[in-house]
Amino acid sequence: MPSKSRIQVLRLRAFERQGGRCCYCGVAMWSTSPTELAGGSPKPSAWQLLRCTAEHLEPQSEGGRHTAANISAACALCNSTRHKRKRPPEPSAYQAEVRRRMARGAWHQRWVHERGLAAGPQVVLPTGTG
Protein backbone atom coordinates (compact mmCIF):
# COMPACT_ATOMS: atom_id res chain seq x y z
CA MET A 1 0.00 0.00 0.00
CA PRO A 2 1.53 3.37 -0.99
CA SER A 3 2.22 5.88 1.74
CA LYS A 4 0.19 9.07 1.89
CA SER A 5 1.69 12.28 0.61
CA ARG A 6 2.38 15.15 3.00
CA ILE A 7 -0.62 17.11 1.71
CA GLN A 8 -2.92 14.10 2.22
CA VAL A 9 -1.73 13.73 5.81
CA LEU A 10 -2.20 17.45 6.49
CA ARG A 11 -5.68 17.38 4.93
CA LEU A 12 -6.71 14.41 7.08
CA ARG A 13 -5.35 16.06 10.23
CA ALA A 14 -7.25 19.28 9.43
CA PHE A 15 -10.42 17.26 8.71
CA GLU A 16 -10.14 15.55 12.11
CA ARG A 17 -9.22 18.77 13.95
CA GLN A 18 -12.28 20.49 12.45
CA GLY A 19 -14.65 17.67 13.31
CA GLY A 20 -15.22 16.87 9.64
CA ARG A 21 -16.61 20.35 8.91
CA CYS A 22 -15.59 22.86 6.24
CA CYS A 23 -13.54 25.78 7.54
CA TYR A 24 -15.64 28.24 5.52
CA CYS A 25 -19.26 27.07 5.42
CA GLY A 26 -19.29 24.61 8.34
CA VAL A 27 -20.94 21.85 6.30
CA ALA A 28 -20.18 18.21 7.10
CA MET A 29 -17.72 16.79 4.55
CA TRP A 30 -16.58 13.33 3.54
CA SER A 31 -12.95 12.30 3.41
CA THR A 32 -12.82 8.82 1.89
CA SER A 33 -16.31 8.11 0.56
CA PRO A 34 -19.65 9.93 0.34
CA THR A 35 -21.13 7.06 2.36
CA GLU A 36 -19.53 8.69 5.42
CA LEU A 37 -22.47 11.12 5.34
CA ALA A 38 -26.04 10.02 6.05
CA GLY A 39 -28.72 10.13 3.39
CA GLY A 40 -28.44 10.41 -0.34
CA SER A 41 -28.39 13.17 -2.86
CA PRO A 42 -30.48 13.88 -5.93
CA LYS A 43 -27.44 13.04 -8.10
CA PRO A 44 -24.32 11.10 -7.09
CA SER A 45 -22.16 13.86 -8.58
CA ALA A 46 -23.69 16.32 -6.10
CA TRP A 47 -21.78 14.62 -3.28
CA GLN A 48 -18.50 15.73 -4.91
CA LEU A 49 -19.17 19.28 -3.68
CA LEU A 50 -18.89 17.99 -0.10
CA ARG A 51 -15.56 16.20 -0.65
CA CYS A 52 -12.88 17.32 1.79
CA THR A 53 -10.02 19.20 0.14
CA ALA A 54 -6.81 20.69 1.50
CA GLU A 55 -7.24 24.46 1.51
CA HIS A 56 -4.07 26.53 1.43
CA LEU A 57 -4.98 29.60 3.48
CA GLU A 58 -2.07 31.39 1.86
CA PRO A 59 -2.24 30.22 -1.77
CA GLN A 60 0.71 28.31 -3.17
CA SER A 61 0.89 30.89 -5.96
CA GLU A 62 1.72 33.48 -3.28
CA GLY A 63 4.28 31.33 -1.49
CA GLY A 64 1.94 29.31 0.74
CA ARG A 65 3.48 26.03 1.79
CA HIS A 66 2.34 22.56 2.79
CA THR A 67 2.38 23.18 6.56
CA ALA A 68 -0.18 22.43 9.25
CA ALA A 69 -0.61 26.15 9.96
CA ASN A 70 -1.41 26.84 6.30
CA ILE A 71 -3.72 23.90 5.59
CA SER A 72 -7.37 23.77 6.58
CA ALA A 73 -10.03 21.35 5.42
CA ALA A 74 -12.59 22.88 3.07
CA CYS A 75 -15.39 21.37 1.03
CA ALA A 76 -14.72 21.24 -2.70
CA LEU A 77 -17.34 23.96 -3.37
CA CYS A 78 -15.80 26.51 -1.00
CA ASN A 79 -12.21 25.76 -2.02
CA SER A 80 -12.82 25.94 -5.75
CA THR A 81 -15.09 28.98 -5.55
CA ARG A 82 -12.56 30.99 -3.55
CA HIS A 83 -9.72 30.21 -5.92
CA LYS A 84 -11.70 30.75 -9.13
CA ARG A 85 -11.85 34.45 -8.33
CA LYS A 86 -9.40 36.76 -10.02
CA ARG A 87 -8.26 37.99 -6.60
CA PRO A 88 -9.17 35.40 -3.94
CA PRO A 89 -10.26 37.10 -0.71
CA GLU A 90 -8.46 36.62 2.57
CA PRO A 91 -9.68 33.47 4.37
CA SER A 92 -11.46 35.38 7.17
CA ALA A 93 -13.29 37.68 4.73
CA TYR A 94 -14.31 34.74 2.56
CA GLN A 95 -15.48 32.80 5.62
CA ALA A 96 -17.67 35.74 6.71
CA GLU A 97 -19.17 36.04 3.21
CA VAL A 98 -19.92 32.32 2.98
CA ARG A 99 -21.44 32.21 6.47
CA ARG A 100 -23.77 35.13 5.63
CA ARG A 101 -25.02 33.20 2.63
CA MET A 102 -25.33 29.98 4.64
CA ALA A 103 -27.43 31.80 7.26
CA ARG A 104 -29.91 32.63 4.47
CA GLY A 105 -30.06 28.96 3.44
CA ALA A 106 -28.05 29.68 0.33
CA TRP A 107 -24.53 28.81 -0.91
CA HIS A 108 -24.97 25.03 -0.98
CA GLN A 109 -27.80 23.24 -2.76
CA ARG A 110 -31.07 22.99 -0.85
CA TRP A 111 -30.66 19.27 -0.13
CA VAL A 112 -27.52 20.00 1.95
CA HIS A 113 -29.55 22.27 4.25
CA GLU A 114 -32.59 19.95 4.26
CA ARG A 115 -30.50 16.97 5.43
CA GLY A 116 -28.98 18.95 8.28
CA LEU A 117 -25.45 18.76 6.90
CA ALA A 118 -25.10 22.51 7.42
CA ALA A 119 -26.07 22.38 11.09
CA GLY A 120 -23.13 22.12 13.41
CA PRO A 121 -20.36 23.98 15.21
CA GLN A 122 -18.51 26.63 13.25
CA VAL A 123 -14.82 26.12 12.55
CA VAL A 124 -12.29 28.74 13.64
CA LEU A 125 -9.63 29.46 11.05
CA PRO A 126 -5.99 29.22 12.14
CA THR A 127 -4.39 32.62 12.61
CA GLY A 128 -0.93 31.72 11.34
CA THR A 129 -0.01 30.56 7.87
CA GLY A 130 3.32 29.44 6.66
pLDDT single digits (tens) 40-91: 655 777 889 999 999 999 888 888 898 999 999 999 999 999 989 888 899 9
User: Does residue 13 sit in helix, strand or coil?
Assistant: helix
Q: Which of 52, 64, 60, 53 is nearest to 129 (CA)?
A: 64
| 1 confidence band (pLDDT: 50, 70, 90) | very low
Percent of residues, the chain, with pLDDT higher than 90: 55
The SS3 of residue 79 is helix
The model's pTM? 0.88
Four-point Cα dihedral 8, 12, 15, 19, nearest 10: 170
Q: Which domains does the chain have, with CATH numbers?
A: 6-114 (1.10.30)
What span, in angstroms and rounded, lies between the C-alpha atoms of 20 and 35? 14
**Does residue 15 contact residue 73 with C-beta atoms inside 8 Å?**
yes
